[in-house]
Amino acid sequence: MTKFAPLAEFRKPVEATYQLAFFRFSPLEGDRYVLTNQAGEYLVLPRSVLSSFIRHELSSSDSYYSRLRHRHFLFDASSNLGKALLANKVRTKAKRLENFTSLHIMVVSLRCEHSCPYCQVSRQSEDRSAFDMTEETAEKALALVFRSPSPSIKIEFQGGEPLLNFELIRYVVGRAEQINSSEQRDLQFVITTNLAVVDNTILEFCRLHDILISTSLDGPADLHNANRPRPSRNSYELAVAGIQKARKVLGHERVSALMTTTKTSLSKGRQIIDEYVQLQFPGIFLRPLSPYGFAIKTKSYAAYDVDRWLDFYFDGLEYIIDLNRRGLPFKELYASTILTKMLTPFEPGYVDLMSPAGIGISAVVYNYDGDVYASDEARMLAEMGDKTFRIGNVHDNSYHEIFASDALLDPIEQSFAGSAPMCSECAFEPYCGSDPVFHMATQRDFVGLKTRSAFCHRNMTIFKRLISLMEDSPMIRELFLQWAN
């Protein structure tokens, strides 16, 4: 049985009919189908129109005809610039590949004074300085950071709690700025911290060096303190006081927050959003738990399934749309990332939603002991004993040995969604990612069987819902256009 029509079918003379461009289609709901082209532009068609379009039977006077031509799903005698325009859009989307690694995560300490049961890092107790990065290791890591050809370099300090090794952060920032005086890259720093130990000296340093703060806030006090235990049970109070203090010194927009969804969060979606609104954040990233670190050991990851999380997510999204309807501008940030892919020619650079996978080539992690991991999740997996994505060590390996290693290139090549079973035919492939680390963690395989993949189920459901919402409501389409841009 042949899968495709004969070649001649695709070469019908343009004056007689139109040529089909490369596109994929998937069912949406009812009799609607979504089509995507190579640049990720989409169109929703009724099944009958899709069917006559594919059979070259669609009349040029049909209202769908010009929309299909405009979005490069077909080429006819009047599509002079169509192919060149499409090629240009595809090149713009792929531009990140030529820039290579821009995000460099340094795990400056595994120590932490919290003991969150869902922690994806497998932290160490506070006083074990054996888990701190040394200046010598940081120096070697910096030498690799500046080997990246990327014109912009972001160095993100993570932990544990990175501020427990603040002296090293101070050292790295100074050295990176020194190196950059001749490199002239667009250099940026971020500290990911729970803000429990932040003080004026640290904040003043951040102000002087233009450092961004990214913190954790899971929602209102009862939820946050239950999720993030520390001996004096005041994680929420410290986080909120820290956010306010940091905003005062650094500027409001230089402090962002991230939440993690635990089982307890699931019934509190709207309260979590209210907390972010009340603290005047411009949006929220409704994140699921990842299958790594303490989240697995303490069974937090297994505490709810994707469908339960999707109910939580869509209820939150509906609530946020309603807030906007009532005049309060507020974004859901995961949707915004996907919408940028759907509605603009740009690639937002979110590692989980990249194909080829963003591991190593978009973001990389230098662990406290000098081990280099292909992503943040890859080092979390290593903390559980699986070092599949350890791509080298700053003390033992050269830039070339690390970034051209089989440990990095094999998963990127094998998981490439454009040639992975199911993804290669999926209309949502331009928006999706390949996430070999997730599939290794859950299915012991870089590609994963997508029919059993929580990653696939979660993302495909969200892609479909976002498109349906835009199709059914001009107000939501307008709002989503603002989020995308």
Binding interface with ligand SF4 (CB under 6 A): 417, 422-423, 426, 428-429, 432, 450, 456, 459-460
Q: How far is the CB of 342 from ligand SF4 (least distance, A)?
A: 13
| Residue with smaller CB distance to ligand SF4, 289 or 423 | 423
Judged by beta carbon, residue 14 or residue 94, the one nearer ligand SF4 is 94
Q: Which is nearer to ligand SF4, 370 or 411 (CB)?
A: 411
Sign of CA dihedral 49, 51, 55, 57: negative
Minimum Å gap between C-beta 126 and ligand SF4 is 40
Within a 13 Å sphere around the CA of 203, how many CA atoms are in the beta-carbon half?
19
- Cα first-last separation, the chain: 45
The smaller minimum CB distance to ligand SF4, of residues 35 and 364, is found at 35
Token pair in block for residue 124: 């160490």
Tell me the closest approach of the beta carbon of residue 225 to ligand SF4, in angstroms: 36
Least separation, in Å, of the C-beta of 23 and ligand SF4?
A: 14
Supply the minimum distance, in Å, between the C-beta of residue 451 and ligand SF4: 9
Nearer to ligand SF4, 24 or 123 (CB): 24
Q: Least distance (Å) from ligand SF4 to the CB of residue 58?
A: 26
- Which residue, 234 or 424, is less far from ligand SF4 as judged by CB? 424
Q: CB-wise, 410 or 425, nearer to ligand SF4?
A: 425
- CB of 428: closest distance to ligand SF4 in angstroms? 4
CA distance 52 to 9: 14
